[in-house]
Chain A
Amino acid sequence: MAINVKVNGATRSVNAEPDAPLLYVLRNDLELNGAKYGCGVSQCGACTVLIDGVATRSCVTPLSRVGQSEVTTLEGLGTLAKLHPLQQAFIDEQAAQCGYCTNGMIMAAKALLDRNPRPTEAQVRAGLADHLCRCGSHNRIVRAVLRAAQTNGRI
């Protein structure tokens, strides 16, 4: 059935069942690569998107629960030509190895900085505690988030 969903500022119609996980709709119907399948059970954070600004695990979010809310994905933050400060900071700090967790880290950091524009390092670590990185890029990720906080124009 056709369902409307608001993603990155545009209303999109998708032909999916209401119980379809948002993750698959974003990836397969809307061809958005940002959110990643990592665990399917809300443990790793790779699939994180913002729903009305709140960091949400799209792998366990059925389409029906999205309703008229605004979904923001990694693609909605910025583009290659106009990077969001967090995206720029992840490049500046070379804050990845494989980059598979990067989406979740950036989206969770976005929600974190929106709530707390000047977090301490410990707050960043705590804020990303339930986002897993397997390559060991953690310290770079923390530095990138702190750098973005400084360059966000909020301090």
Chain B
Amino acid sequence: MNAPHLTRRDFTVGLGGIALAFSLAPIAMTQQPPRLPGSLETNRLLSAWLAINADGTATVLTGKVELGQGILTALSQIAAEELDLPLARVTIVSGDTGRTPNEGQTAGSLSVEASGTALRFAGAEVRAILLELAAKKFGVAVDGLKVTDGTITAPDGRRVSYGELASEADLKREATGKVAPKPVAQHRLVGQSSPRVDLPAKVTGGGAFVQDLRLPGMLHGRVARPPQYGAQLETFDEAKVRAMPGVVTVLRDGSFLAVAAEREEQAIKAVEALSASAKWKAGPALPDPARLYEQLKALPTQDTVISNKDGPLLASGAKVVEATYRRPYQAHAALGPSCAMAQMRDGQLTVWTHSQGVYPLRGTIARALGMKPPSIRCIHMEGAGCYGHNGADDVAFDAALLARASNGRPVRVQWTRAEEFMWEPYGPAMTMQARGAVADGRIVDWNYDVWSQAHNMRPGDPDGINLLSSWYLADAKPPGPARQAAAPNFAGDRNAIPTYDLPRQRITHHLIKDNPLRTSALRTLGAYANVFAVESFMDELAAAAGVDPISFRLAHVTDPRERAVIEAVAKAANWKPGEKGNGVRGRGIGYSRYKTIAAYTAVIVEVEVDRATGKISVPRAWSATDAGLIISPDGLINQIEGGIIQSASWTLHEHVRFDRNGITSRDWASYPIMTMPDVPKIENVLLNRPNDRPLGAGEASQGPAVAAIANAFAAATGRRLRELPFDPARVKAALA
């Protein structure tokens, strides 16, 4: 395999130790330091990002982590590009509080912008340092030197390799950010579809996931969860479980009840016995699902007007349109339930985790357990694709609790499928209410209100412990409060402000402070629901104005890049202005610029409606994306196409089922998703902008895809679906 290897596959090498040379020491600063690009701003030493090794390889350090989005391949490409090294001689280390920079969470389609930019500038500067060393050695000017594959050649033919200069290169210095990265015209690796560095192991059964980690003396842990949120443990039969084969640890702390055993199947039997014997005092009732949205809107909210533009009053001839859209609770539903390993030895806790943020997790575990952060090391290893904040952090804390009670033995905790479905934080149920007006083919007024629970309840909150089991301990520490997020990323209000040029607009976010069902970050946060509502409403206004939906959008855009992606998708799909559906087939468009600052994506889909069964099929989709400078075209297409398919699944199938007594979505039968025969065929167009900075694209297609499906259904049938998911019952009701 001609691919750089991920050091994390070498599971047994050097993972146990805590004391590693720490290259991230804060720098004493007496004056305002210069602003550095990307995450260099917060991790300023070159040695925090790159090491040149004596064997001529480079080690890249990043605080961002692989979630299946291919980020480590993209970051390796960027670093290798600037260093003038082949990809095979670059090794990447990611998300380790003992080694890598602190880059917070891997979220929000920010990794290429934050970590990639840091590596781009750090790589250019390290290359310049190596060239200076070579120039001095040869007594020639830097200008005359050439670099090929990590070997520097002088004009007279003398050569020196990076490896030979490694010991002289002092990278423990602050980056200046002043060495210009390569011009795009010289790129060899960036812009190429480099094969993913992690796939060879994944197709051959190599150790690729935290689930595959095995440590000597490892125990298997399981948690006996309460029957519903907030239930309190009264009694359980400890003696019986302790006597079961292989059981080593039975841990009860308040209402947290868990077991660790020698063998995995023994742990499963033990936790079943624990659950069977446990008596619980019921927790509070959940909302009535039949009246969910009314009940949520009645809860206390924090209201923020996030955009207000006063314009001329409505002309008398304006047509007013009003609509309300709804999105249910939806699950991340990672294919592999969350898993973690932890070991507590000599007061030092090591946690192997697929968390999206090892530093915030470390800090929160430290506060939850009354430890100091330096006594804890959190090391990222891949889990199944997570699409946001699922059970990853929670299971890491479960493993830490069991490890603390297991005499130095490592404990691997594997959540069950049901546990993941019932206890992960969901994407919130949301209500979007729009009122607008059109006159003479243009929008003259736009009012928009969105109600949502919090979308960011991750570990790292200063005022609470956002770890599930912490809320059930005897010394329970509650979660942090719901918080209004700042522009331009926002949260429940992400993409609530349309990018269209509107003369009057008022957009209000109603943040629901309460958490009747547990929620947090699901891919795109509120953007999926807001783009669904905004782009459905655009079509409703276009219809009121009697204008083709694409022409209507183009009449309201001012950014030429927006215009370009909308026109590109229309061309790819061979869109006919004014095209009409035929009662069962139709096409629709959805567009957004993700977060209003990241990638531009437009999607057209074709739907087919079975009027008898109420089933909507999406046989085809087309997309167009402008993500600025493209690092890996195939990686970008993979994200855009995957986002469309996942969004189609959310849109047609997905909602978390519950009743007053608890969550009833517990497996793939009670939370069905789209399957292979129903997946659309997709054509993707990429608009490369090599001279513009890369724009986050990992979440860019989700919103446009749901809107395109909603608009295609309306085009096909003349009826509109405003409540997700578009399942057969809703479709039949809409057609009745």
A interface list, Cβ under 8 A from B: 16-17, 19-21, 24, 27-28, 31-34, 36-41, 43-44, 46, 73-75, 78-80, 83, 87, 90-91, 94, 96-103, 106, 122, 125-126, 128-142
Contacts and interface: CB of A to CB of B under 8 A. Distances in A.
B677 interface: yes
A74 B681 CA distance: 28
B195 A91 contact: yes
Contacts of B67: 98
Contacts of A33: 205-209, 212
Interface in B637-658: 638-639, 641-646, 649
B621 to A, nearest CB: 10
Contacts of B252: none
Given A135-B642, A135-B646, A100 B336 contact: yes
Contacts of A38: 335-337, 384, 417
Contacts of A32: 205
Contact of B199 (A40, A91, A135, A139): A91
Nearest to B66: A98
B203 A106 contact: yes
A44 B335 CA distance: 8
A122 B675 CA distance: 13
Contact of A137 (B205, B383, B642): B642
Given A24-B265, A134-B387, 11 more contacts: A43-B667, A44-B335, A44-B417, A75-B204, A90-B199, A98-B384, A100-B385, A102-B203, A125-B677, A129-B675, A134-B385
Given A33-B208, A133-B335, A97 B676 contact: no
11 contacts: A21-B265, A43-B667, A44-B417, A75-B204, A87-B204, A99-B208, A125-B676, A129-B675, A134-B387, A134-B673, A137-B642
Contacts of B634: 94
Contacts of A24: 263-265
Interface residues of B, number: 60
B205 A97 contact: no
A43 B387 CA distance: 21
B324 interface: no
Of the listed residues A39, A87, A132, the one surrounded by the most CB atoms of chain B closer than 10 A to its CB is A39
Contacts of B205: 32-34, 73-75, 103
B203 A91 contact: yes
Contacts of B335: 38, 44, 46, 98, 100-101, 132-134
B337 A97 contact: no
A99 B68 contact: yes
Contacts of A37: 211, 336-337, 414
B685 interface: no
A125 B382 CA distance: 28
B84 interface: no
Contacts of B200: 80, 91
Given A36-B211, A43-B667, A80 B1 contact: yes
Interface string B375-396: 0000000111101000000000
B493 interface: no
A14 B638 CA distance: 41
Contacts of B508: none
A135 to B, nearest CB: 5
Interface string B660-690: 0000000111000101110101100000000
A96 B206 contact: no
Highest count of chain A CB atoms <10 Å: which of B199, B209, B417, B676? B676
Nearest to A73: B205
B196 interface: yes
Contacts of B629: none
A141 B641 CA distance: 13
B423 to A, nearest CB: 16
Contacts of A103: 205
B416 interface: yes
B264 A28 contact: yes
B321 interface: no
Given A38-B417, A39-B417, A136-B645, A100 B384 contact: yes
Max chain B C-beta neighbours (<10 A), residue from A33, A79, A125: A33
A35 B1 CA distance: 22
A134 B334 contact: yes
Contacts of B645: 136, 138-139
Given A21-B265, A138-B679, A41 B417 contact: yes
B417 A40 contact: yes
B682 A139 contact: yes
The 10 closest A-B pairs by CB, nearest first: A98-B68, A136-B642, A136-B645, A98-B385, A99-B202, A34-B205, A100-B384, A75-B205, A97-B68, A138-B679
A37 B413 CA distance: 13
B519 to A, nearest CB: 19
B81 interface: no
A28 B333 contact: no
A80 B383 CA distance: 21
Contact of B195 (A19, A28, A43, A94): A94
Nearest to A24: B264
Most buried by A among B202, B208, B212, B383: B202
Nearest to A130: B675
B55 to A, nearest CB: 21
A62 to B, nearest CB: 10
A79 B387 CA distance: 30
Interface string B418-447: 000000000000000000000000000000
Nearest to A34: B205
Contacts of A39: 417, 667-668
Interface string B181-218: 00000000000010110111111111111011010000
Contacts of B265: 16-17, 19-21, 24
